[in-house]
Amino acid sequence: MMKVAHSRLPQRSEIPKSPKSRLPATFSELGVSSTIQNALKTLSIHTPTEIQSVCIPPLLAGRDCIGNAKTGSGKTLAFALPIIQKLSADPYGIFALVLTPTRELAFQISEQFAVVGNAINVRTAVIVGGMDMMAQALELGNRPHIVIATPGRMVDHLKSSGSGEWNLSRVKFLVLDEADRLLSSSFVPELSYLFDVLPKERQTCLFTATLTPSIENVANAPPRPGKQKPFIRRM
Ligand code: ADP
Ligand code: MG
């Protein structure tokens, strides 16, 4: 029997499922500003990683996002670049709160914000346990744009500050980094305190190396009225 020509076309099941081949290959294609691209070049960062290619466009577009990728895959810049880019349009008050489970992670995240954000005078404050409360209170009063914090110490500052020098009422962007650990039971009281204080109108993103049931619960929760479901990237 004669074979018809189209039978040589690959069947759907044979088409390689590599999403990489279709991903934007440059920061410019992702919509990252030239100012930020130049800052990245000075760090010899020229090509986005996969999680960056997938998550930066929806975050720039204002969507919530759940990003799941293994350790070392560049998750920090996947949220830091959209935050820095959006911040330039809204420089008043604390714009972003980044929560992370440990002091060490908070300082690592802060370094990445600094190397990209210094060129455009982004001010960050690191608010973590085991360090001087007074010095941190001064930092919070120094009009930071981005606060990187462990949940417990952030709550301590909210409970003890009566001065009105700073508040979280203008936060537009909440990040739960290492969200699997943050959503584990030990952080629940602090997180619910923070969720009560934070404005409801904001973008929220979760980044994690492991998709735990508590993250799946967030992913599957019905969105608030008028809000899209979060964009989800599973590993
Ligand atoms: P994760 O949070 O996924 O564990 P990090 O965000 O800490 O990973 O990134 C790991 C390292 O990769 C950091 O040193 C960071 O500077 C570097 N990095 C991030 N994005 C890129 C990129 N696009 N190209 C090269 N290096 C990158
Ligand atoms: Mg990380």
Judge whether 198 lies within some domain.
yes
- Closest residue by Cα to atom 13, ligand 1, is 74
Q: What is the CATH number of the domain that holds 156?
A: 3.40.50.300
Tokens of 25: 């290959």
Q: Residue with the nearest Cα to atom 18 of ligand 1? A: 74
Q: Is 1 exposed, middle or buried, given 0-12, 13-18 or 19+ CB atoms closer than 10 A? A: exposed
Whether 21 is covered by a domain: the verdict is no
Residue 3 lies in a domain: no
Ligand 2 centroid – CA 207 distance (Å)? 8
> Residue 3: what pLDDT?
44
The whole-number pLDDT of residue 21 equals 58
Give ligand 1 pocket residues (Cβ under 6 A): 45, 47-49, 52, 69, 71-77, 112
145 vs 206: CA distance, rounded Å: 20
Mutate to test the pocket of ligand 1, among 26, 43, 77 (most ligand atoms within 8 A of CB): 77
Reported in sequence order, the residue ranges of the chain that DSSP labels E, i.e. its strands, are 65-68, 96-99, 124-127, 146-149, 173-177, 203-208, 231-233
Distance 139 CA to ligand 1 centre (A): 27
Domain that holds residue 179: 31-233
Do residues 146 and 124 lie in contact, with contact meaning Cβ atoms separated by under 8 Å?
yes
Predicted local distance difference test score (pLDDT) of residue 14: 47
Classify residue 9: in a domain, yes or no.
no
pLDDT of residue 162: 65
pLDDT tens, N- to C-terminus, the chain (235 residues) = 444 444 454 444 444 445 555 777 899 999 999 999 999 998 899 999 999 999 999 999 999 999 999 999 999 999 999 999 999 776 689 999 999 999 999 999 999 999 999 888 899 999 999 999 999 999 999 999 999 999 999 999 999 986 678 999 999 999 999 999 999 889 999 999 999 999 999 999 999 999 999 998 888 888 888 888 999 999 8
Atom of ligand 1 nearest to the CA of 109: 7
**What's the pTM?**
0.90
- 3-state secondary structure labels for all residues of 30-73: HCCCHHHHHHHHHCCCCCCCHHHHHHHHHHHCCCCEEEECCCCC
**Of all atoms in ligand 1, which is nearest to the CA of residue 48?**
23
Determine, yes or no, domain membership for 176.
Answer: yes
Atom of ligand 1 nearest to the CA of 70: 3
Number of domains in the chain: 1
Considering every ligand atom shown, identify the ligand nearest to the alpha carbon of residue 112 and give its number. Answer: 1
- Predicted local distance difference test score (pLDDT) of residue 51: 97
Within-domain flag for 71: yes
Is 12 inside a domain boundary?
A: no
